[in-house]
Structure 1
Amino acid sequence: MSPTMTEQIVLTAREARDVPHGEKGKFYERASERLGISTATLRRGIRSAAPSKERRRRSDSGRYALSREEALLISATILHAQTRDGKRIKTLKDAVRMLREKGAILAARIDKDTGEILGDLSDGAIARAMRGYHAHPDQILAPDPVTELRSNHPNHVWQVDASVCRLWYLEDGLQAIKRDAHYKNKPKNLERADRFKVTRYVVTDHYSGWVYARYVRGAESGENLCAVLIDAMQNRGDRDILRGVPEILMMDKGSANTAGMTKNLCQALDIRVFPHEKGNPRANGQVENGNNLVETTFESDLRFYTVRDLSHLNKLARMWRIRFNAERLHSRHGRTRSMAWLDIRQEELTNAPSAAACRNLATSTTVKRIVSSVLRVRLGGREYDVSQVPGVLVKGPLDVAYDAWGDEHIKVVRTGKDGRPVHYMAPLAKRGAGGFFEGAALIGEEYKRKKDTPAQTARAEIEEMITGERTKRGAEKARKEKRLPFGGTIDPFRGMSEKDARPYQVPTGRDHPAIAPTVESPRLTPTRLAMLLRDRLGRDWPEDGYQRIVARYPDGAPEESIPEVMAAVTGKKATPDLRVVKA
């Protein structure tokens, strides 16, 4: 709009202020005809060029006739009908109509005083209310707020991601995938391209943004991932400078990334693996952008060049990444990626073992070993001291693995409080003179005691609970004195009484038909009876005692009748505990 027209519009806006209410429409029509523009253009010009009075806020602003529950129900209906690729196939109008017909919502204006329904809410009013409640599908599907991530130094965090090359496959050299030859309705051609497809692996250093790219034949696999990581960690020269073992490796939870080979390699090199959740690409956003950079700045040039084979392709990728990382400025730190990576300090750069050693580590795994009584384990024909490993127990199992840096130590793998593996280094137990292990106590001159194991600590606590003594000597004394455990506070028979027991009504039953055998005692002769009673009665034995026995018991009497015989002899009741003693 020209300055002259703007000036005329401002003058028209000033004149409109004095126009009575209800006549401004006709005034704007005459002004638009005079200026040669439409009424809508004139009104827009007035709103943008001339200040207007601020419109008074409505008294019911912020209040909606649609309830929040109804807004949520409408939004849930629309979102539930959404397809997997995010396409909404249920419109707001259809969702409201369906819910009204089912009686699920009212979505109407209601007189607060009488409760009368004044009319249905329009789709626009419903949409505005849903937005006011922050329940509109556009708001629900908006991305969640993200947390920015940072790293401390180069090689602190690496990110890795694989992507199937969409443009190329290798068959008699690198060839472009032709849509008309490999589309989905020709499965045989797709299978043919699948056999020769190329997968691109990209590794980025989070601190510097350094981009490493390498191509492999076939799909993602643990073997391909390990090959890429091992090559990325190696010293490849002073120009291709990314190298060393990262502290943290971030990647997705694909089957190749969680394969045994990947876990073994990372565990052996003390690399902490942080897999991000499915559907959260921003967590690995830097390497996702790295894939895009490789595709747009390197692969796009391959259409103008003949690539012979996979080795030739990786050679070209090496040339590209050296130049790209050395020349392109990074938007975050404003330097080239190679210059930023050179910020790494001596103690932050951990050189990786050789490629062959790394491959051996990737194919090896932890093994279980039993701890000996001297707190050592055997691995590979050698013994290693595990006495400093927390929680070690005699005869207990330990997960151990070879160390990537030599055989002077092994790794003991334990599970930390956060559920992640924790590695402890166990040194080799070396032998000295006479074949004795170094560190063994010298008889008669030294006394060395191992640190208490958790079992020993628990045993001492149990002894203190039972005996009430804090020292071992006190506990032994208490056991020797046979003191009651727990200070006698635990009475296992407390509360047990026959009176408290419930009486039961037991059936009388029937007698068993078996007849018990009778036991008859041997009969004592009158002479034997006289001898027994004379010894028993002493001075009370009458002179005619023998004659009395013969007269009363001429055939003798059984042993149990002795009290009766005594009474007959003396005229007194005899003691019932008299028994025959065989000489």
Structure 2
Amino acid sequence: MKADLGELDLLRELATRLGAAPHGGRTALVDKAARTLCCSRQEVYRRLKDVGFDSGRKKRADRGSSMVTKEVAMQAAALVQGARRKTGKKTMPLTETLEILRENGRGSVDAETGEVRLPDSAATLSRAMRRHGCHPAMLQQGKPHTHMQSLHPNHVWQVDASMCVIFYLPKQGLQIMPEGVFYKNKPLNIERVSQERVWRYVVTDHYSGTLYVRYVQTAGETSENLAETFLQAIQKREQNDPMHGVPNNLMMDLGSANTSHLFLNLLKNLGVTPLVHTPGNSRAKGQVEQAQQLVETQFEGRLSFMRIETVEQLQAAADRWRCHYNAWAVHSRTKQTRNALWLTITEDQLRIAPSMELCRELVTTRPVDATVRADMSITHSVKGFGRKTYDLRYLAGLVPGMKVSVVVNPYKAPAVDVAVKDERGDETIWTVEPVQMTEAGFRADAAVWGQEHKALPDTVADKRTKEIEAAGVVAGRKTGVAPYGLDIEADITAAPAPAYIPRRGRDLGLDASRREIPPLSHVEAAKQLKARLGQEWTAERYAWLVQRYPDGVPAEQVDDIATRLAAPETPVGAVLKLVAGGTAC
């Protein structure tokens, strides 16, 4: 506290008089000054010290020491902090804390008497806690924060959703929630309009402070609403609303909608890095939190004097206010309007968003596996462009039949991003344009018959094959020499098969003489006889064979039949007839 000139003159005069006062005369002078300055005697001495007065009083031998040790101060702080509610309300005063510690025998021990001592005053405990850095007021300050910067427009965006004090009734339109009807002690009133609540999504560009607002009627935060808000924000709009494009980074909290697979997949496909702050540290995205406050106070405060019946009308009014605010409100940090600073973005920094149709597809689009064909190409279908062919001949590490991951490149559609893994497992992403085709359906880069020849570059497999051939593998096959000086039977000679002890068994009891072979069919027998007799085999002899062996020809008699038919005296003109006794003659 700084003293004015009159007080300084009074204090200097008092210091002079105190220096000349006899023993016992200082008290009256200090009391008179205390009444004049309306403060205590201790405060008068403190102010006198500021003007250079030294009472000459001998300092106490125990000056700077305290019966409240750091251990006791920390125990007191633990009690106070543990009893504090989540709302920040302190429910245990230091007076109660002091009594609890005293009854538990906590305190400093007197070296002479062995007595456990604690101060009688809570103020003494409070001062000691401040000295040890654990006073409740100090602990409530939170951690110190650092400053963050973004490098250019669209470098970092922030997004946040907040529940508005607005709800929509189909017959009555938008309504403001009266504080006397909708508050924490009347949860049923809030639950009654939960499906009609209106949520406000705010997106800000950290560099320029430009903001985007979208209202949604929903019961709560959803990944679909967040994704749609983000897609609307990145699209190019009217000329009076310049902020658009895909940011490099997006700061958000750890809400379930923000970290859902759908939204994170959209960010991944658009090449946006999600930045998520730790729970409870809302200061990390303080800009968008402040933007929520701006929208609530500078726009929604007008709604009481406007007739808004639908959410669409609310959004239209918000768009008009937002365009005006971004164009004319001067930012306290930049001393410029938000639009003016955002328009300093360069061509390299502005990533134009794909069409809304393709963006919505990116919400669920995931990389798919494609097989490399024999001509080192793959095919992939992109919505709005159809199925295209992509040439991968110049991508290192690929061979026909290999699997690669493919996903559409949102900024160069119908180009695709192809992910290829090397021998270490590291993934490299290549952007590949579709192959141009002729009117006849041929590849435009294909060789023309009779005019040119085009060979594909060697694949990894081709290179390895040439290396193996260079090692003399082909020549080794002819000469019987293994490549690389290898002993082709090293594994066999290193571990010869052991000699096993024979195992005793039992005779299966089969009699070869009793084994029966099924007879041949007439056709099978005729094939064998024709192969042996050649031109001497005739239709008459086949008829004889069928008549002689009506149930099939015994396999063991084929040789005898062939010998008999080949004999010169064998009749061949007529079919042999049966005589009595069943013997052919």
Contact 2:169–2:175 (Cα < 8 Å) also in 1: yes
Where do 1:221-300 residues align within 5 Å? 221-300=222-301
Structure 2 equivalent of residue 210 of structure 1: 210
Say what the alpha-carbon RMSD is for the aligned residues. Answer: 4.6
Q: Secondary structure of 2:204's partner?
A: strand
Where do 1:84-95 residues align within 5 Å? 84-95=86-97
Contact 2:414–2:433 (Cα < 8 Å) also in 1: yes
Contact 1:108–1:121 (Cα < 8 Å) also in 2: no
Alignment match of 2:410 (pick from 391, 404, 414): 404
Answer yes or no: is 1:146 the counterpart of 2:154: no
Q: What amino acid does structure 1 have at the position aligned with 2:410? A: A
1:359 deviation in Å? 2.3
Alignment match of 2:470 (pick from 465, 470, 473): 473
Answer yes or no: is 1:301 the counterpart of 2:307: no
Answer yes or no: is 1:189 the counterpart of 2:197: no
Alignment match of 1:120 (pick from 118, 121, 129): 118
Structure 2 equivalent of residue 361 of structure 1: 362
Alignment match of 1:449 (pick from 443, 454, 457): 457
Contact 1:182–1:193 (Cα < 8 Å) also in 2: no
Contact 2:472–2:483 (Cα < 8 Å) also in 1: no
1:363 deviation in Å? 4.3
Where do 1:377-392 residues align within 5 Å? 377-380=378-381, 381-386=387-392
Q: Secondary structure of 1:164's partner?
A: strand
Contact 2:398–2:459 (Cα < 8 Å) also in 1: no
Contact 2:166–2:197 (Cα < 8 Å) also in 1: no
**CA distance change for structure 1 residues 73 and 434 in 2, over 3 Å: closer, same or farther?**
same
1:297 deviation in Å? 0.8
**CA distance change for structure 1 residues 37 and 282 in 2, over 3 Å: closer, same or farther?**
closer
Quick one: distance in 2 between partners of 1:38 and 1:66? 28
1:410 deviation in Å? 1.3
1:430 deviation in Å? 4.4
Contact 1:170–1:197 (Cα < 8 Å) also in 2: no
Where do 1:336-355 residues align within 5 Å? 336-355=337-356
1:217 deviation in Å? 1.1
Q: What amino acid does structure 2 have at the position aligned with 1:368? A: D
Output one character per residue of 1:494-527: Cα deviation in whole Å (capped at 9) or x when no partner. 999x9xxxxxxxxxxxxx9999x9xxxxxxxxxx
420-429 vs 196-205, which moves further:
420-429
Quick one: distance in 1 between partners of 2:160 and 2:283? 12
**CA distance change for structure 1 residues 316 and 143 in 2, over 3 Å: closer, same or farther?**
same
Quick one: distance in 2 between partners of 1:36 and 1:448? 98
Contact 2:389–2:434 (Cα < 8 Å) also in 1: yes
1:77 deviation in Å? 3.7
1:436 deviation in Å? 6.5
Output one character per residue of 1:294-320: Cα deviation in whole Å (capped at 9) or x when no partner. 111111111111112111111111111
Structure 2 equivalent of residue 545 of structure 1: none
Quick one: distance in 1 between partners of 2:38 and 2:80? 43
Output one character per residue of 1:417-440: Cα deviation in whole Å (capped at 9) or x when no partner. xx9998542332445799665667
**CA distance change for structure 1 residues 101 and 354 in 2, over 3 Å: closer, same or farther?**
same
299-308 vs 3-12, which moves further:
3-12
Structure 2 equivalent of residue 163 of structure 1: 162
Contact 2:408–2:414 (Cα < 8 Å) also in 1: no
**CA distance change for structure 1 residues 407 and 320 in 2, over 3 Å: closer, same or farther?**
closer
Q: Secondary structure of 2:318's partner?
A: helix
271-280 vs 377-386, which moves further:
377-386
Q: Secondary structure of 2:153's partner?
A: coil
5+ unaligned residues in a row in structure 2: which ranges?
Answer: 382-386, 499-503, 510-585
1:155 deviation in Å? 1.5
Aligned length: 485
**CA distance change for structure 1 residues 120 and 244 in 2, over 3 Å: closer, same or farther?**
closer
Q: What amino acid does structure 2 have at the position aligned with 1:215? A: Y
Q: What amino acid does structure 2 have at the position aligned with 1:117? A: E
**CA distance change for structure 1 residues 354 and 279 in 2, over 3 Å: closer, same or farther?**
same
262-271 vs 437-446, which moves further:
437-446
**CA distance change for structure 1 residues 426 and 446 in 2, over 3 Å: closer, same or farther?**
closer
Where do 1:543-562 residues align within 5 Å? none
Quick one: distance in 2 between partners of 1:277 and 1:413? 32
Contact 2:69–2:108 (Cα < 8 Å) also in 1: no
Q: Secondary structure of 2:78's partner?
A: helix
Q: What amino acid does structure 2 have at the position aligned with 1:214? A: R
Contact 1:202–1:214 (Cα < 8 Å) also in 2: yes
Q: What amino acid does structure 1 have at the position aligned with 2:369? A: K
Contact 1:28–1:39 (Cα < 8 Å) also in 2: no
What TM-score comes out, normalization by structure 1 length? Answer: 0.69
**CA distance change for structure 1 residues 238 and 17 in 2, over 3 Å: closer, same or farther?**
same
Quick one: distance in 2 between partners of 1:44 and 1:290? 49
Q: What amino acid does structure 2 have at the position aligned with 1:163? A: S
Structure 2 equivalent of residue 134 of structure 1: 133
Quick one: distance in 1 between partners of 2:94 and 2:342? 52
Q: What amino acid does structure 1 have at the position aligned with 2:14? A: T
Quick one: distance in 2 between partners of 1:44 and 1:319? 63
1:329 deviation in Å? 0.9
Output one character per residue of 1:24-44: Cα deviation in whole Å (capped at 9) or x when no partner. 2133235667x6967649827
Structure 2 equivalent of residue 19 of structure 1: 21
Q: Secondary structure of 1:263's partner?
A: helix
Structure 1 equivalent of residue 547 of structure 2: none
**CA distance change for structure 1 residues 11 and 168 in 2, over 3 Å: closer, same or farther?**
farther
5+ unaligned residues in a row in structure 1: which ranges?
Answer: 464-469, 499-511, 518-583
